[in-house]
Amino acid sequence: MRLGTAFALVAAAAGFIWQRASHWMDDPPALSRPLDPAFVRLTPLETATLPLAARFDMPLGSEHGALTYNARGFRIERHLGDDLNGIGGGNSDLGDPVCAAGAGRVIYAGVPGVDWGNMILIAHRLPDGDELGPVVQTVYAHLASMNVRTGQDVRRGEVIGTVGTAKSAPLAHLHFEVRTGPYVNPGQGYADTALNRVSPEKFIQARRGAEAISLNPAPQNDRDGKRLFEGR
């Protein structure tokens, strides 16, 4: 009798464990799920090993942003970045090359939401003594395509993607941000305060190294008619 009871208890316990295990495989407990990106940050070692960005240029058009205009600037209607467009208007800049504003490392390349579309975050190590240092991030959103992957080091002026659209951006443009700090978080494009964003235009103006007459080569066409960019 006692042996039978013990066997029944063991069987019941085994059945319960199996049921819970099956449930966890279908719906893992919270601790096994990916962390909220709001709580992900670069470690001190990752920050120290970032490529040094001694100079920054505009990510669209020439190093100075020639042949582009800022359709919606920083903090206009709660906007947390600059919306950069080609001077042709409409979707004339769709597919135009987007370049890394400075040397750095890709810390995010993906689609955080339909409003953002394709997004790339690049972390840059600033020179010692820079008031915004030691690390800033540049953000490139609404991309039609991405040419880089997470963890990849990029040079200033390297083509990282192309201008595109997203649900919140019916006309093609580049949403470009500059953020301070080590937090890796796609975040939001509008807020009542500036959060950890700074004016992209002012940031690049203060750290630009291109000569006044410096211009990028004009986009060229490959054999398939797609626009190419010669870099900087």
The residue count for the chain:
232
- Give the chain's mean pLDDT: 80
**Which of 2-11, 27-36, 71-80, 113-122 has the weakest average pLDDT?**
27-36
Predicted pLDDT of residue 192: 95
151-163 pLDDT per residue, tens: 999 999 999 999 9
3-state secondary structure of 98: strand
Predicted pLDDT of residue 63: 77
Contact assessment for residue 98 and residue 174, using Cβ atoms and an 8 Å cutoff: yes
| Other Cβ atoms within 10 Å of 51 Cβ, number | 18
Predicted pLDDT of residue 219: 41
Query: Rounded mean pLDDT of 73-88?
Result: 91
Confidence of residue 227 (pLDDT cuts 50, 70, 90): very low
Contact assessment for residue 161 and residue 139, using Cβ atoms and an 8 Å cutoff: no
**Which of 33-37, 74-78, 171-175, 205-209 has the weakest average pLDDT?**
33-37
Name the more confident of 108 and 66.
Answer: 108
110-142 pLDDT per residue, tens: 999 999 999 999 999 999 999 999 999 999 999
Predicted pLDDT of residue 20: 43
Percentage of residues in the chain with pLDDT exceeding 90?
A: 59
The sign of the torsion formed by the CA atoms of 188, 190, 193, 196 equals: positive
Site of tokens 């019941």: 12
Confidence of residue 8 (pLDDT cuts 50, 70, 90): low
Torsion angle, alpha carbons of 109, 196, 187, 193, to 10: -150
186-198 pLDDT per residue, tens: 999 999 999 999 9
When computed from its CA atoms, the radius of gyration of the chain, rounded to whole angstroms, is: 23
Distance CA 110, CA 185 (A): 12
Enter the pTM of the model: 0.76
Nearest partner of 78 among 192, 195, 228, judged by Cα = 192
Query: Rounded mean pLDDT of 5-16?
Result: 52
Nearest partner of 137 among 99, 191, 100, judged by Cα = 100
